[in-house]
């Protein structure tokens, strides 16, 4: 079975596309027939994002690494039943999230209790920073923002990670988490409002010239 490499924590960032020797669908088809080398390429392509998702939710490097490893073990076992009705990465995130549910019993209930009382259509431009790290140039400010994300409740961290770290659409998140679309938008709206308020308290460090 393919083992994951050791990781150091990765911040929220835009996806970095890596080169694969052949189209992902071909690799999936080969892996479904038992080709472990093809599956190893898929692991290399997606392991960083699965790990980052687990780390953002669990906030423990070793637990995140263990969960990422278990995600790919389960994916390898279930791969013959993958019908490509969703993207492969989304399927992996669903497996990882279900494993997070096992470790955090209140996570699923917290998501279900979000409600959908916010207006259904919330344009990204309504949020000052849109993508929470887009255009944030200061290293200190990025660090402050990541700390603010880490202080969010776990269900908000999950939604922020899926939307901005793993770049899923609202619709993909709703399908993956089996939630109404309005609930996903409500949760993200509330999470970003909390982050906006946190950023309003940030003061850029003053640097003096020696």
Whole-number pLDDT of residue 21: 67
Distance, in Å, from the CA atom of 65 to the CA atom of 4, rounded to the nearest integer, reads 8
pLDDT digits (tens, 9 = 90+) for 80-114: 999 877 899 999 999 999 999 999 989 999 998 98
- Contact between residue 196 and residue 128 where contact means Cβ atoms under 8 Å apart: yes
Q: Is the pTM of this model over 0.85?
A: no
**In terms of domains, do 39 and 100 share one?**
yes
Residue 45: which CATH number?
A: 1.10.1740.10
pLDDT digits (tens, 9 = 90+) for 24-36: 999 999 999 999 9
Q: Extract the residue ranges of the chain whose pLDDT is less than 70.
A: 1-21, 117-138, 203-210
- Which tokens sit at 85? 């009705």
Between CA 41 and CA 27 the distance in angstroms is 8
The whole-number pLDDT of residue 82 equals: 92
Q: Closest Cα partner for 12 from 120, 135, 132?
A: 132
From 69, 104, 139, the end of a domain falls on 104
Structural domain tally of the chain? 2
Query: Which long-range contacts (C-beta less than 8 Å, at least 24 apart) are formed by 173-177?
Result: 175/86, 175/90, 176/86, 176/90, 176/93, 176/94, 176/97, 177/97, 177/111
Range of the domain at 138: 110-200
């Amino acid at each position: 079975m393919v083992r994951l490499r050791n990781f150091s924590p990765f911040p929220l960032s835009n996806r970095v596309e890596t080169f694969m020797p052949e189209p992902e669908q071909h690799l999936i088809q080969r892996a479904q027939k038992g080709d472990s080398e093809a599956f190893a390429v898929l692991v290399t392509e997606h392991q960083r994002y699965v790990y980052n998702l687990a780390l953002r939710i669990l906030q423990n490097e070793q637990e995140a690494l263990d969960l990422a490893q278990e995600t790919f073990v389960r994916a390898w076992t279930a791969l013959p039943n993958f019908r490509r009705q969703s993207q492969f990465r989304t399927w992996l995130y669903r497996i990882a999230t279900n494993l997070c549910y096992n470790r955090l019993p209140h996570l699923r209930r917290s998501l279900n209790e979000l409600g959908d009382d916010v207006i259904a259509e919330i344009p990204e431009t309504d949020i000052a920073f849109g993508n929470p790290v887009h255009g944030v140039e200061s290293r200190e400010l990025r660090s402050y923002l990541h700390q603010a994300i880490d202080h969010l409740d776990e269900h908000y961290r999950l939604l922020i990670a899926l939307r901005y770290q793993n770049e899923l659409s609202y619709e993909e998140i709703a399908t993956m988490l089996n939630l109404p679309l309005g609930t996903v938008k409500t949760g993200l709206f509330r999470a970003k409002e909390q982050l906006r308020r946190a950023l309003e308290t940030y003061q850029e460090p003053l640097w003096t010239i020696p």
